Amino acid sequence: MKKLALAVAALSLFAAPAAAQTATATVNASARVQADLTASTTHQLKFGTLSMGASSTLASSGASQSALSGLATAGLGQIQVGHNSNVNVTATVPTVLTNSTTGATLGFAATCATATSSGGTGTDTGGCASFSFSAGTPGTSQSTYVLIGGTVTGSAAAGVGDFTGDIAFTFTAVN
C-alpha cells in the first residue's frame, strides 16, 4: 500500500497540468454616417399688387429681392438649404393660383435658380420640378439658396382678390 501511495505521488509530479478553460467574444464596431440637411423658407414669392388682367414675371435668376417686376411689394421666394453633401430637389408646382373666396384662378408657372448667397444672382435650374446642386466641399457645412420666381398670367375674368398657391419642395441628401 505504501508502494502504491509512493507510485501515485511520483506520477502526480510528472502528470501534465490540467488544460485551462478558454472563451472568446467579439465586439462589433459600427458607425452611421449621415449628411446634414436643413431647409427653411426665408422669403415668400410675392408678385405684388397687379392691375386686373395684368400679368407679372419675376425671374428666379435675378439678383434683387424687390422691385423685380417694377412693384415695391414684389419679391422672389427663397429657401435656405444647409447641407454638407450633394442635394436632389423635387417640387410640386401648381399651374394656377386660386382665389379662396371666389374659386377664380390665374395661370401660374414657376422658375427656380440656385445661389450661394441670400439675394445673390441665381443660376437657372431649368425648372422647379426636379433639379440638383452639389456641395462645393463635401463634408463641410454650407448654404445654398433656392430662388423661386415665375409668371402669373392675368385674366380680367378672374376678378379681384388674393390668389395663392403652394409650391412644395422636397430636399434629399445624396453622395
Nearest to 170 by CA among 90, 80, 81: 90
The reply to whether 1 falls in a domain is no
Kindly indicate the confidence band of residue 66, based on its pLDDT and cuts at 50, 70 and 90: very low
Q: What is the pLDDT of residue 10?
A: 54
Average pLDDT over residues 158-174: 96
- Of 28, 160, 163, 61, the C-alpha closest to 108 is 163
| 2 found inside a domain | no
Q: Cell numbers at residue 83, please?
A: 447641407
Q: In the prediction, which pLDDT does 136 show? A: 87
Q: For the chain, what is the domain count?
A: 1
- For residue 19, pLDDT over 50 is answered with yes
d(CA 97, CA 109): 9
Please determine, for residue 60, whether its predicted confidence score (pLDDT) is greater than 60: yes
**Averaged pLDDT of the chain:** 86
For residue range 110-156, what is the model confidence (pLDDT) as tens digits? 999 999 988 788 899 999 999 999 998 889 999 999 999 999 999 99
Across 10-19, average pLDDT: 60
165: in domain: yes
Strands of 168-174's sheet, edge to edge? 130-133, 86-92, 168-174
Q: Hey, what's the cell of 59?
A: 425671374
22-36 pLDDT, tens digit per residue, is 999 999 999 988 889
Q: Which residue has the higher pLDDT, 102 or 67?
A: 102
Mean pLDDT of 72-87: 87
In this model, does residue 81 exceed pLDDT 80?
yes
Q: For residue 167, what is the domain's CATH number?
A: 2.60.40
Q: Please check whether residue 13 lies inside any domain of the structure.
A: no
3-state secondary structure string across the chain: CHHHHHHHHHHHHHCCCCCCCCCCCCCCCCCCCCCCEEEEEEECCECCCCCCCCCEEECCCCCCCCCCCCCCCCECEEEEEEECCEEEEEEECCCEEEECCCCCEEEEEEEEEEECCCCCCCEECCCCCEEEECCCCCCCCEEEEEEEEEEEECCHHHCCCCEECCCEEEEEEEC
| Domain interval for residue 119 | 35-174
Position 66 in a domain: yes
In the chain, the percentage of residues whose pLDDT exceeds 70 is: 82
Q: Which residue has the higher pLDDT, 60 or 66?
A: 60
For the chain, give the percent of residues with pLDDT over 90.
Answer: 65
